[in-house]
Amino acid sequence: MITGTHLARAFGTQMALSDCSFQIDTGTVFGLVGPNGAGKTTTLRILAGLLQPTSGTASVDGVDVLDHPQGVRERVGWMPDFFGVYDRMTAREYLSFYASCYRIPRARVGRLAADLMDLVGLPDRMDTPVEALSRGMKQRLCLARALIPDPPVLLLDEPASGLDPRARVELRELVRELHRMGKTMVVSSHILPELAEMCTSFGFIDGGRMVASGTLEELTGSRDRSTLRINVAGDVHEAAAALEGVERVLATRPGDSSIEVDVRGGAETTSIVLQALLAAGVTMTAVNPVGSSLEDVFLRVTGQPLEQSA
């Protein structure tokens, strides 16, 4: 489990974090959502034992980051948003160098490097110079380096930044594979579709505070409620009026040629709504569920779109 309690971090007079608290369960892929400058990287650096908070406490896998920073580093694989690689080394030499830093026995280094390169999908690049690798391949090589000590926790800061669509898909599949292996991961990004695809729970950080957290169902309320968009051929206000007082209908919002209907429940509720509209003589041309996205939730909890939030 990873926890942060009332974390604050100041850089001079600028507060990067302010009273930020959260809890991340073991085995979770936790998406840290927020705009640039919200405090995502500062949070990850504190959890990695690389930066001390101005106040507050944090722990990783039960180890306090302030009292035992070395113990935290032994449990964490850290992949920064800007990673340093040694261009004139081959991928094999690069991983072997870091394996020696972790005091991996020399007899194990070759096999370990091969296994990690196979895991990240680069088994045929062992003897390729790092400078000849694409950005996506360098990202995967950096992730392989973070996995050298087999840490239970991975902290990935903007791992999809600068990647082309194919590389993003490959990264997403790799994160899923690491999740199946039992790794707990914290992935920061402001690219919400990527996080929605790879994470099991999310935390929204804005202005240095954790403003909301939970699974997508918990954040959107979709576990016990949903929204239908119903296109109608007639008067949308008459259609909305036909649903007043109907069981399980929570709210209606007429548009130009459709109405959005918030309901409690699933398919059975949809049937109730459609029967009520048919009984009122409403002609429907289409019925579609409306899914709440991470962007929708961020807008609701912060009051502004992600790209405009500070």
Looking up tokens 């649903």, which residue turns up? 243
The answer to which of 119-128, 169-178, 241-250, 258-267 has the lowest mean pLDDT is 258-267
pLDDT surpassing 50 at residue 195: yes
| Residue 169 CB partners (closer than 8 Å, separation 6+) | none
Q: Is 223 exposed, middle or buried (0-12, 13-18, 19+ CB in 10 A)?
A: exposed
The answer to which of 35-39, 75-79, 139-143, 254-258 has the lowest mean pLDDT is 35-39
Tokens representing 33 are 């959502």
Band of pLDDT at residue 310, cut at 50, 70 and 90:
very low
Contacts 24+ apart (CB under 8 A), 239-245: 239/277, 239/280, 239/282, 242/276, 242/277, 242/279, 242/280, 242/282, 243/273, 243/276, 243/277
Domains 2-217 and 223-290 share a fold: no
pLDDT surpassing 50 at residue 91: yes
pLDDT at residue 299, rounded to an integer: 74
- What mean pLDDT is predicted for residues 13-23? 93
User: pLDDT tens, 208-255?
Assistant: 999 989 888 777 765 567 788 899 998 999 999 999 989 889 889 898
| Ramachandran assignment for 245, one of left (phi > 0), alpha (psi -120 to 50 degrees), beta (any other) | left
Higher pLDDT, 297 or 232: 232
Q: Where are the domains of the chain?
A: 2-217, 223-290
**What is the residue-averaged pLDDT of the chain?**
88
Band of pLDDT at residue 171, cut at 50, 70 and 90:
confident
pLDDT at residue 35, rounded to an integer: 84
User: pLDDT tens, 40-53?
Assistant: 999 999 999 999 99
pLDDT at residue 83, rounded to an integer: 67
Higher pLDDT, 67 or 83: 67
pLDDT surpassing 90 at residue 306: no
CATH tag for 2-217 (out of 3.20.20.70, 2.40.30.10, 3.40.50.300, 2.70.210.12): 3.40.50.300
Higher pLDDT, 266 or 117: 117
The answer to which of 162-166, 171-175, 277-281, 305-309 has the lowest mean pLDDT is 305-309
| Residue 290 CB partners (closer than 8 Å, separation 6+) | 226, 227, 228, 229, 260
Band of pLDDT at residue 266, cut at 50, 70 and 90:
low
CATH of segment(s) 223-290: 3.30.70.100
> Rounded to two decimals, what is the model's pTM?
0.78
- What mean pLDDT is predicted for residues 267-289? 88
Higher pLDDT, 93 or 263: 93
